[in-house]
Amino acid sequence: MKIKNKRPIDKIAKNIYFWLGRTFVLIKKTKIKTWQGIFAISLIAGIAIASIAVVSLDIQTKSDAAGEVAILSLSPVSPTVANGGTFSLDIMLDTKNSNVVVARSVVSYDPAVFQLQGFDLSSSVFKSSLDCGSANNNNGACNIVINDTANGKLDLTVFTTAPGVNTSNGRVASLNFKAIGNNVRKEIKLNFIDKGNYSDSDVIASGNDGKDILLAVTNATVTVGTPVVTCTSFQYTSWSACQSNNTQSRQITSSLPTGCIGGSPTLSQSCIYVPTCVTSQSTYSDWSACQPDGTQTKTKVTPMPTGCTGGEEVLTQKCAYVVPTNPCASFEYSDWSACQSDSTQSRTVKSKTPANCVGGINPILSQDCTLACVSAQSTYSDWSACQPSGEQTKTRTTPMPNGCTGGEEVLTQKCAYVVPTNPCASFEYSDWSACQSDSTQSRQVTASLPTACVGGGSPLLTQACAYSKPQEKKKSSSSKKKKKVAARTISNSPTRVARGAILTERGKKFSKNSTVLLYFSKSTGGYYAPMRVNTNSKGSFYLTYRIPTYKTVGTYKWFAVDQKTGKKGKTITYRVK
């Protein structure tokens, strides 16, 4: 029967005839002298004719729908993609345990919402080593394609030889789309009208009748959303406590613009980890004599690991006090230990007076001290230029541990001085800075003569001065008329803190990217040497401090001095309970 309106699959027979013709040409060129050669020709011809019959009979019959079982479907069935994003749909085939040799997929879509960017047959179940003849060969799968992107239609036919494909979930092809719509849900369809229809999808069974066995199709509904917006700013939680790997972290609480994703939030930073003391590793003094209140104490002699603070430890216990008949009146002590990271040092009792005394006055076994700086932990400036004296110097920029003073360090070294050929003879300076808490003030060289000179005289950059702690001035009635200037403020949280707990100290409205000196009072009166902290680009600083478990209960004071301006902030207090 002659068919007037041929489908793409109707052309496949011609391609398979072409494959058969090439096979005969190949054998014809071979000399056949034995019966084995004749048998080979018969075998090849038989296989080829059987293959042609599968497809060519489809030309002679319209798709007979009796016994339709196969299903074509698009997967996934309901994907979501942002406007401008790309996605893939797989054409999947379930032959319901039938062998098929041809699958035709007629796909339609809205070209105003989707762009078909291509299709891929590299993982198709129809992939084979078949010579496709005049048909296309895409990654080893024979196909005939009509791609009408202007009207949103793809007509894709793939084929192979008998016995064909038998699969319950085989990929026919992968279609690659780009979403160009916005806030819309659209269907991408596999066209299927009825049996024998020349414009819909088909699945051709292997056999001698070329039957179309397509029963149903499953389409895909694609949701296209708004474009993805990258986050540009973030709000965070407070930084966590410093961890043993010298880092601390925080979490994002909100981000802008609203609904954004990604971006580059800063969720971790470096810090200096101060470990918590481990009782089993630290060493302690013996228990003291039982006191009249029925308690006795001991002190931590060597906290471990080195540099630790706090920790869970029992330094006081109940005891049965016995009224002494020979009370102690005085003690002979060992030397004080080195100052520890918690700014305390300890000693032990070597002997008591009178001999064999019990109780009496309490020995003094610990005291506050000034922690010495450690050169290996501190940071320093570069060495200065070599001076005519044959020496060069450097300064300590960040003393460590925090709050330390002094320490063994080399701030001067010998060098080879080279006499300059254009030595400086005079200098022009900036104004002297405010007098600092270490009773010095400084200035900078603004110009030197002659021009481009090197070396020569040494500019005078520092001098001694009389430092006076700033006094808090009472506000006069005239001050109300002046423009209000932002006051430097400090705060601590909580205001009442238990021994072993964390105290957080903050400051704001100081000089930006500068240094602030913090003064903390001692339990015995006076103040420790100042601690230097750096301010950020907003003039703020932040630090945490674990209260030692043996720190004396009471109220402590602290204040901050802006090292750049010499201005002192308000003195505030916290109470150790």
Q: Which residues pair with 235 in a beta bridge?
A: 254
Residue 275 reports pLDDT greater than 70: yes
The residue behind tokens 């150790």 is: 576
Which has more confidence, 390 or 480? 390
* CA-only gyration radius of the chain, Å: 45
Distance between CA atoms of residues 347 and 370, nearest Å? 16
Beta strands in 38-180 (DSSP E): 70-75, 80-82, 86-94, 100-108, 114-120, 136-138, 141-148, 153-159, 170-179
- pLDDT at 187 (0 to 100): 94
- What CATH number is given for 1-228 in this structure? 2.60.40.680
| Range of lowest pLDDT (13-22, 179-188, 268-277, 444-453) | 13-22
Tens digit of each residue's pLDDT (9 = 90 or more) over 510-522: 988 888 888 888 8
pLDDT band at 88 (very low <50, low <70, confident <90, very high): very high
Percentage of residues of the chain with pLDDT beyond 90 = 25
Which residue, 215, 193, 175, 167, is CA-closest to 79? 175
End-to-end CA distance of the chain: 105
pLDDT at 234: 93
Specify the pTM: 0.37
Residues 384 and 421: their CA atoms lie apart, in Å, by 19
Q: Is 484 in a helix, a strand, or coil?
A: coil
Quote the CA–CA distance of 239 and 267 in Å, as a whole number: 9
Q: Which of 99-103, 126-130, 355-359 has the lowest mean pLDDT?
A: 355-359
What pLDDT does 548 receive?
Answer: 85
More confident residue, 533 or 485: 533
Judge contact between 344 and 552, C-beta under 8 A: no
Three-state DSSP class for 77? coil
pLDDT tens, 427-444?
A: 888 888 888 877 888 888
Rounded to an integer, the average pLDDT of 64-90 is: 85
Residue 343: C-alpha distances to residues 402, 492, 515 (Å): 10, 20, 22
Quote the tokens at residue 572.
């505030």
Q: Encode pLDDT of 303-354 as tens digits.
A: 888 878 877 778 899 998 877 777 888 889 999 988 887 778 889 989 988 8
**Strands 141-148 and 70-75, bridge-based pairing:** unpaired
Which position has the token pair 């013996």?
286
Instruction: Using pLDDT thresholds of 50, 70 and 90, give the confidence band for residue 474.
Output: low
Q: What ranges do the domains of the chain cover?
A: 1-228, 233-270, 485-576
Residue 572 has pLDDT above 60, yes or no: yes
Burial of 348: CB neighbours in 10 Å, binned 0-12, 13-18, 19+: middle
Nearest of 227, 255, 224, 204 to residue 53 by alpha carbon: 204
What confidence score (pLDDT) does residue 76 get? 96
Say which CATH class 485-576 falls into: mainly beta
Say whether 485-576 and 1-228 share the same fold. yes
Dist. CA 209–CA 194, nearest whole Å: 18
CA distance 145 to 167: 23
Residue type present at position 525: G
Low-confidence winner among 12-16, 194-198, 351-355 (lowest mean pLDDT): 12-16
**C-alpha–C-alpha distance, residues 187 and 217, integer Å:** 13
DSSP symbol at 418: -
Mean pLDDT is lowest, of 43-57, 194-208, 431-445, 552-566, for 43-57
**pLDDT for the residue 25:** 32
User: What pLDDT shows up at residue 153?
Assistant: 95
Which pLDDT score, from 0 to 100, does residue 60 have? 31
Spatial separation of the C-alpha atoms in residues 349 and 362, rounded to whole Å: 11
Contact 504, 491 (CB under 8 A): no
Q: pLDDT-based confidence at 472, cuts 50/70/90?
A: low
The one-character DSSP state at 335 is P
Section 156-180 average pLDDT: 93
Higher pLDDT, 391 or 399: 391
- Tokens matching residue 42: 């018969």
